[in-house]
Chain A
Amino acid sequence: MIKKNWMYWMFFLALFLAPFYLTEFRLSLLGKFLCFAMIAIGISLIWGYTGILSLGHGVYFGLGAYCMAMYLKLEASGGRLPDFMEWSGVNNLPWFWKLFEHPIISISSAIIVPVLLAMFLSYFTFRNRIKGVYFSLLSQAIVVVFVTLFIGKQEWTGGTNGLTNFSTVFGFSLSSPLTQIVLYLLTVVLLLSMFLFSRWLTRSRFGRVLVAIRDSENRVRFLGFNPTTYKVFVYSLSAAFAGIAGAMFVLQVGLISPAMMGIIPSIEMVLWVAVGGRSSLIGAIIGAIVTNGAKSFFSENYPDIWLLFLGGLFIAVVLFLPNGLAGVYQSVKQRKKQGEVRANEASSHVLQRVSRF
């Protein structure tokens, strides 16, 4: 097992050791990308394995991020009203903001709130057998609803500016390099646990049902399974991943605004998974990191024309790597297997011939 998967371990080891070979700035970028990779794992689970294309994961990411950000904002305001409330004419802290004074509530709600929304949405849609493109459209509508709500309720959410300008988390300064390294390592640990859990899940009986739902939902139903339960579970799981990603994102980037939960970021999330390979968990992680890495790299070096490079990358992936980066790896593996099979066939032919004699 260990020998077979040495690449995985090498990959995560490289991530763990990153603080030693990356500068502070690059490390913070990588930390951000790893948060995106968490979302990518969730999308790979629902899209690659179960066949649900959600174009609305920005909402779950955003909700997780806002839950964390509310706590940080209160801590930064030090008992006074957050600055944006002051100039939006709010005199008292709203009751639901008060809850977020407690770190445990805000951290757990960063997972619970997205999961509740995902369960609510997915239960009613999947129970009514709404799927395919209709579900994708519905998930986009949710994005629009939430973005409009968050922009409109400026006195509660900070409007388009969002929540920013945090100072400390649990009393530790967010700008100190040590806090950033700890947060980074925490991100890697979380990513690794999500990866291992998803891997275990997809290889279990449960995972096989998911793939079966993707390939033929009706057959699964006729076999006596209830696809709704499975789909609701896996969809809520991916929302939980996105929520955790949002919380870690806010801690490391120090900023969340409705623009980050909008339609374009939501579609971008699907794009990362497409680049990496949607039915491969590690592919999704690598896709998120490579795409965002390329974005940073190109925009730093060619600020005027970087979008062309990025567009070129996407077109190249779609044209030449239909199964993403992971597909390349799999086709190499398959070729290797085919070669072995052919060799076996050849030898068995020889044997048969020999035995005939």
Chain B
Amino acid sequence: MKLKGNGLKWLGLFLCGSLLALSGCAASSAVDEAKEKKKESSTSETSDTVKVGILHSLSGTMAISEVSLRDAELMAIEEINESGGLLGKKIEPVIEDGASDWPTFAEKAKKLLQKDKVVTIFGGWTSASRKAMLPVVEQNNGLLWYPVQYEGMESSPNIFYTGATTNQQIVPAVSWLLQNKGKKFFLLGSDYVFPRTANKIIRAQLKAEGGQLVGEEYTPLGHTDYSTIISKIKDVKPDVVFNTLNGDSNVAFFKQLKDAGITPKDLTVMSVSIAEEEIRGIGGDVLAGHLAVWNYFQSTDTPENKVFVEKYKKKYGKDRVTSDPIEAAYFAVHLWAEAVKKAGSFDVDKVKKAADGIEYKAPGGTVKIDGETQHTWKIVRIGEIQPDGQFKELWNSGEAVKPDPYLKSYPWAKDLMN
């Protein structure tokens, strides 16, 4: 009988335990949350700190790229705090892991906005993660700074886009290639939204500007066998391969291209997803001579960039490199800070209003927020990859290009949107 009593007690305990865990381990934090609820109206800027969210994949397949963005954002926050903070308050970053999993991005964005009551979020890399966060920030009237080049066709009132849209990367690159490298284009991409949308734009542009499309191929993400595609390329002899492959596939493609005896002299490959960090993974010797288009290179020659690169390396290690998304994540924090200063408040609506026309001397040149689209004006650069893994700039747009996510100012793009 005694045993039975004990068993029941044990069971009760087990049940209670699982109930605690089941509520998302909320039972303990529920008390805190209840406390928080009482002072809800004052948001997170209660004492002398203000909370901002940082939401990147720190685990999973995207971690290799996104961890650097977190580092750059933390560095920018540190800089602002060192120079006295914002509106007399220190910025306190709340870091969350999106885990390369899109619902997790939505969940964590919700947590940052509802529970931590952050005044803004810096985060995301893939389009899918941005699309997952978009309804969350819109419904909670939050703010998200998205730092990576993407396929355009979006302009959320609650997102600021500090990476390039198509007319700041792909469109000028295609025009440049047509003028300097030849008319015959071969399009190669990973099978997801960005390459498919990018290639759709390129097809329309080639038609309008007198180019010729000789092939278009997609491979699944993570695909590593490119022999078939390379022999197709050999057959149709394009002047240019426009490469929108992502991730590991690039390693395989470029190695196999080199093994097939195709050198940059025979064929120009223009990539849009290969930056300094990726070159480190693939190897500068394999890629040397091929091209990439970005808004910033580690080798970009501005006084701001010298300081930026030096500081970044000092903080995170000599072997680390900076790249376009890292720079965009870094200056996103500073742009937000400038907007907050101008608004004199952390309030989302006021910051959004104040952000129009805000300028910042970023490492890659002066950037400016376009209030209408909430994208940034950026300089476009085409670079040739060197054996040491850095870029030699071949061309730049001179001045910052106005962002046009829906390509409204290009007559040939009219048919793209019906």
Contact = CB atoms under 8 A, between A and B. Distances in A.
Interface of A: 7, 10-11, 14-15, 18, 21-26, 28-30, 32-33, 81, 83-84, 86-89, 91, 148, 151-152, 154, 158-162, 164-166, 175, 253-255, 257, 259-260, 286, 289-290, 292-294, 296-297, 299-300, 303-304, 306-307, 325, 328-329, 332-333, 335-336, 339-340
- Interface extent on B, as a size class? 35 or more
Contact of B95 (A24, A257, A303): A303
Given A23-B37, A89-B416, A325 B23 contact: no
B33 interface: yes
A26 B33 contact: yes
Contacts of A11: 15, 19
Given A30-B24, A259-B128, 13 more contacts: A23-B33, A26-B24, A33-B24, A158-B193, A159-B196, A160-B221, A164-B132, A253-B103, A255-B135, A299-B96, A300-B108, A304-B97, A335-B7
Interface of chain B, main secondary structure: helix
Interface of B: 3-4, 7, 10-12, 14-15, 18-19, 21-26, 29-30, 33-34, 37, 58-59, 95-97, 99, 101-104, 106-108, 110-111, 114-115, 126-128, 131-132, 134-136, 138-139, 151, 153, 191-193, 196-197, 200, 218, 220-221, 416-418
A31 to B, nearest CB: 10
Given A23-B37, A260-B102, A293 B59 contact: no
A244 to B, nearest CB: 18
Contact of B132 (A28, A255, A325, A333): A255
Nearest to B14: A329
A299 B102 contact: no
Contact of B24 (A91, A297, A306): A297
A333 B7 contact: yes
A25 B111 contact: yes
Contacts of A293: 21-25
B303 to A, nearest CB: 34
User: Which applies to chain A's interface (DSSP): helix, strand, loop or mixed?
Assistant: helix
B135 A257 contact: no
A148 B196 CA distance: 14
B21 A304 contact: no
B106 A329 contact: no
A257 B18 contact: no
A328 B96 contact: no
Nearest to B20: A293
18 contacts: A22-B23, A23-B33, A26-B29, A87-B153, A89-B416, A152-B218, A161-B131, A162-B102, A255-B102, A259-B102, A259-B128, A294-B25, A297-B25, A303-B95, A303-B97, A304-B58, A306-B59, A306-B97
A228 to B, nearest CB: 34
Contact of B18 (A292, A300, A325): A325
